Structure 1
Amino acid sequence: MLVSIPSPLARVIAIGAELGAALQRKAAVLNRERVIEMTQPRWVCDASATFRDLNFTPSHPTSVGVAETAEWYRKAGWM
């Protein structure tokens, strides 16, 4: 499930994440620089030509990889 949030709210959340991480002496998983990257308009990538040229097929769908990564982050205490 994807949740869309307004950019200003994302910046506020990032500031909170940075402050919380600083208090714990850890690196913030989400920070203001990442929000800037994530909120760029038309920030897309189509790798289909590369896949075709290299005869590459991913071992599993992106949705599965994202879910596995999120689960790993949760188990590691990063989320």
Structure 2
Amino acid sequence: MPMPVETLHACLAEAFPDAEIVIDDLAGDGDHYRARIVSAAFQGLPRIRQHQLVYAALKGRMGGELHALALETSAPAKGD
């Protein structure tokens, strides 16, 4: 069963309350998304650790309800 974009956004917003989150449904099927997440939680972390935090926020839904998630993660630019 696909994951509604609202559910995906809620999971991410709960884990990263300060984040700017933009989600695109890449195939129109609720199974293939791209998420752009800008959060202070990513400050100073390597990209792999940033993505691990995102996967942890999905609480095991990746690979089940959610088939594919392309991630673009970053910390806010200094001064933002």
* TM more than 0.5: no
Q: Which has the higher contact order (CA 8 A, sep 6+)?
A: 2
TM-score (norm 1): 0.28
Of the two, which has the highest radius of gyration? 1
Hey, which of these two has a bigger chunk of strand by percent?
Answer: 2
